[in-house]
Structure 1
Amino acid sequence: MILLQSLRSTSKISFGKDMKEATLDHALSITQLQRHRRIDDACRKQDEHRLAEEQQNPGHTNWKPEEHTDWLLFEIDADIIIRDDQINVARATISPAFGLNCVLQMNMGQGKTSVIMPILASAIADGKGIARLVVPRALLLQTAQILQARLGGLVGREVSHVPFSRKTPIGIMLTQPDHVLSSRLSGLQVTSDNHMESAQVMIPMQTWLDQFSRDVVDECDFALAVKTQLIYPSGTQLAVDGHPHRWTVPQILLGVLETYMKEMRLSDPLSFDLRLVEDICNGKLPLLPWVSQNRIESVRSYLLEFNIPEGTAESAYTVFPDQSPARQTLCILRGLLVHGILFLCLKKRWNVQYGLHPGRDTIAVPFHAKGIPSEQAEWGHPDVAIVLTCLAFYYKGLTETWNHLRFEQVVINDYLNDFVFPVHAKQFKSKLQASGLDIPSFSQGTRRPHSLTTGFSGTNDNKRMLPLTIRQGDLPALSHTNAEVLAYLLEPRNREYTVAEGFMGKRLSETEFLCRLKESKIRILIDAGAHILEFDNRGLARQWLTIDYEAAAAVYFNAVNKSSVIYRNGTEVPLLASPFAEDLSGCLVYLDEAHTRGTDLKFPMKARGALTLSLGQTNDHTVQAAMRLRQLGHSQSIMFVGSPEVHQSIKDHSGKCFVDRFESHDVVRWLLEQTCRANEELRPLYLAQGFDFCSRQDANSLLQPEQQTLEQLYHPSNAETVRHRSSCGNGQVHKFWTGRSPSRLRRCDRRQAQMPQHFPAHKFPGRGAELLHFSKTGSIRTHGWYEPMFNAIRRTRTGMTRNVPARNTNVLVSTEFTRTIKIGNKQSWRDDFLRPINWILRSPTAGKAVVIIPEEAERLSPILRDVNPPRTYLIVYSAPISKQMLHFNTFRYYTVPELKTDLPPLVKLELGILAGRLYFSFDECQPIVRYLDPHAFLHSDNDEASKKAASSNLLSRRFLEEWFSLMIKGGSFTYTPMGYVCRGTAS
């Protein structure tokens, strides 16, 4: 062993020429001995295919062991002979053509992970740079085990895996795509947060990694996909624009959906949107106020047509001039109907493509596969997330405690509107974003050989969707790979296709489907289409054993992604510890959707499997699943299984009628069409990422806007967006962008979102001397310990955006009241960290009321009890947000000492605005309206009248709506007294 280790390229042992040649001869003799043993074993087991492979590969024909001693040691450790095609791919990956980033294609099952990755790593890790291997999360453990086993012995390479997040200060060697992106964003994050000391360390570190890390990416079609994104949210977290209508409108549409579909299923199901718009315009749905027919035509066009004549949008808006909720509802309806968001969400499959994560916020998240929610990914479009959340709750129900109510839509909507959307339907002000474009190394200057990025994958269907920083560079000798795999699927033994339907075209249940498999003598189920929904993997395996009574056991992947064997008596053992590890001929095997890629099991040579299909399934996904049968092109076979809806789609595409025979060539044509459609749908996101990447490379901006208003999302032909985007590209790009709105660019956005960072809390420094003086005397001596109420509001993002005037007020806030967290900008009062108003210090002498924090109240309470006569009063208060809380309007619920006189009406009114009071007596309505000035409610914030009103110390309607929404954490207050005041309908 020590003698062989001296052949390492990193060995410092020096010996004479003859000694090295003798050692090489010894190593070569070991590889030949191992080869003869493998041939002998194949002969004894009568494995003709394996025997032919060994005999056809004598080894070392296109490379010299004396020049690559690490590869020779790898062969001994792995007990293999590296094939010629594997050497060719490895060399092309190490030294790509033209010295550019490139991706190579190699067929599945040809040793990319088990052979090529290790020999690449051993060649790249030469002490001059970092060998960084980027693999998908699902293959991380498997790749780490292979590398450790095959490089940690004779080759002597240390393999380390250091996951990177915001908290990780160092680089990595074996990593995932999101870790690479996180490494890039972390330095930018601390820079944007003005933490320059940390930035001076992290930015140079990332620059060094860019220069000296040599990246190899496995499964490039996955790691570099358009859907690979990482978002670092930044800034203030605010409720989505247009709340609560943002979620009540889709709830109403989903509520009538079932009724409409039942009525129109037999007539014209494609006219659903027309029927819906007609009912909205005719006032049959509680969405828009009724207007006369001669004024509704512009609204009808606005809700039906994507490209509408100039001025139609403004005409539709002016139909509801003084009702902001109606205008917001109009924008939401256009987004859901015209932009196709409602139908896009209805096409997705619950618990397969979306659902709820038990350990995350109660908002729908993307699923990696059936039953596997993403740990960090989220839907990028707020309306997509809202609609999918509603659907997820409708499917799953609320709780099993109340079985008769858990699926009632009215009950679910009430729960969502009170406890889910007000808390979780929020967006951040800005974001840092990275995508698959950031994974390949990129330099605008000279490219150094060791800073290239190369990789490979089993398919190249998405080569036109690869980042422009890397190219597809297939070897001529492997150019036949795509046709080879498709030819496998068209072999006579693989042509069978069946529909999983029963009587009257009804979808087969899981149990009926398993019985169908038994009748076809199939014991391998590759569930690429997620056909099995009502069983988990273990439950499916047990149920299958009860149907196929001849099978000895069933193999499946458990909750921790480990292959397990379950026997008929219920005993479970790991597959590697069972007698079936090398021979699965007596077993049932179930591969769920999550394990149809990267799984390598040793199926019998004559194995026959069933592969399920689903709507939207691509050729890449299907081929990857089919090639779990490694000998599909020689002796193994497969049968395609489609659900009734899949069969209808295949029939529509092929043009055949129901009596015609369908075979695998119909499936292949359908898969290629599905792939083209999928790529077409991703084009807007692909271009959006490209423009963002170019902007960041040109250093135009780091932070991107995250929150958008409804008009920015859905206004027809958003000129500002088109002008900005088209300035970045040529005429063709401009033409493409002019046909796509910001909403369409984001609706398919599915990204990895880094969770918002936790800020350190501000510590209470103790009671101030000036506050103590005020509490004892009732007079204000200096001005540094407080600020007027409107000055404090002006420091919030809402106050700055809505131009809140610094008007005179008798309500003050202590400086500690606006200090909640430690942030870089001390002049800002974060909208997402507003305190509730519970303690007020009232001075009749000064005529002022000071809002203080609980810590200050705790220290002042015993002092106020001892002051005689009292100069100030400590008042306990909670803003009435329900009718049951109206008693707090007296400000006498609890005071120290007892307060015997009422507060001035103006102080009550201003405290109510600051605290977010929603309910008050009818007598207070007119004073509030006079204080706010009703004329300011007749104009939008963009009108000259509104700007003039703001300069005249008036509060705009939009500010009041947003401020009260902040104070009640995003809840609805439309039908409250303050809601009527904000809409200008209070009388």
Structure 2
Amino acid sequence: MDIVQQDLPEQHHTNALVLEFLLQAGNFVALMPPPNTTVSNDGERFLDFVMQLDKPVEVILDVGAHILELDNLGVAKAWLRKSSLHKEAAIYCNDNDQLCVVDRFGRSELLLTSSFVSRLDVCVVYLDEAHTRGIDLKLPPLCRAAVTLGPRVTNDRLKQACMRLRKLGKGQNVTFCVPDDIQSQIGERGQLVQEQPINVQDVLFWVITETFAEVRRNMSLWAVQNTNYSIQQMKWEKNARDGRHTLTKEAAEEFLEPEARDSSYRYGPKPDKKSPLAILESRKELRFREIAQKCKAFGMIEFQSRKLNEEQERELSPEVDVDAERVVQRALPATPADHKLHDDVVKFVDEGVVDLKSKAYGPVFETLRNTSAGEVFDVSQLKNQYLLATTDFAQTVKNPCKGSLADSFQRSVQWILTIRNRVGNNVEYMLIVSPFEAQELLPHVSVSQTATLHLYRPRYNVTYRDMSKLDFCTIPSRHTAPVVPEDLATQLNIFAGQLYFSSYQDYVGACKFLGLSCVPITNEMRKRGWKVASDGFIERDDQGKPGGQQSRVRSSPVNFLKVLLSVVRRNGEDISKTHLGGLLDHNLLGPADFEQ
């Protein structure tokens, strides 16, 4: 209230100078497509979008904080990797707010001490949101920056970021990258009709309206702080004697403010129901009435929270000021088992011969018998002679252990050998092998007419692609892709610890294999003899068979699978929010719960 802005006439022309530069013809708007699942994170997706722009971009100004998954160095390396070979390095700000440069060999150093300080024309530049203000770089006279937009981007923040281009409007230009959610906001604020293109004027209009909204949001904070200051100033002046201020203990306690609202304030009777603004207007001091008038001028008619967004420093209790750290209890070191390539495994590749009595391999779920999951379930119920695992894959340590100790030494599924039937392309046998066996068998597989080696990874994240079709990295390359039977793919995914289904059909197939109900049990079904346990296991169908007609499971596998997926495969991580977690919690899923 005591500060008066001096708007000097000789500086009037600078008020909208940056906006004038941004409205020039060389600046454009690029609309970003909606997010998709083909790219692992937003950072990679945005860099791919920038590389596809019609006008090449040498600078990224992330005003909207669009890239969150990667740190600054990670963004710089990823962008440099995607850039043309003409660009030799990438500039970024490190955690100490220092400008650094990283070259194509991954070597990072301070920009000021590097050879690139005078060769910015061979560098790309990435500035995150926190460093789009206050950084001064002598960029090439002809360059273009990609400027991201995001929620609550104000006029000052946008102009400060664009002014990193010191010659903006004189050879240097910008391209505004507008995310999908901001596009709809710009259309609503500018009252654009559908399919009407968004231009620079629309972007600036939206930014100015965001600035107005930000000012309104901050008026409550301004009013509270101004009121508190005025009250404390009056208390301070009250303690003045002969031009000197003396502060007694009682007077000092008057300056204390309540840390929080107590129960009597929250739930007790409120004799004075006037709003804070009404109370300010009713006070005789002119300063308080001016505060209320200022709030009304900005369209704020009420504020409730006393503290609002104030930042305060407080002393925390020692027991509260301790960050909890997750402690992972790991198994004691064990002696690794010696690798061995069995002759029957070589015969599987060279001749396509499967000896079900061989000690070189066996049913995959039998490898889990000694784990903590195998202790609560008879894994022989899941036995399948067409889905096998080698002994070298199963035995990772010399002295086999049991229970929770064995959980720590389970190998993840990565390499799979397949044999197709002689009539078509259907996969008849799957053999999971260890990385050692995959390496040793590579010369045999490369010339084999019967066996194929596949790279596999379970789908731990919803954004991962489903690799159970075994069409990724096949050795040798075949003219036709393999056809994996649904039951084999389902069992492979469950054994490997996959957490997400690709379709509703996959979900139904998993339920049928495990003997779990995938539909609600109606009264009509109960009358016909159906009985389903609380965990979803079919205790009896209409013909009296446990698990249903298409399952060999005789007892509930739910606890077994929870331990397998959460403890053995994911080191104790929570899986309740995944498809498999919902299945094991007996949450019935529908087609809408899966990707289309």
The structure that is helix-richer by fraction is: 1
TM-score normalised according to structure 2 size = 0.45
TM-score normalised according to structure 1 size = 0.28
Structure with greater contact order relative to length (CA < 8 Å, sep ≥ 6): 1
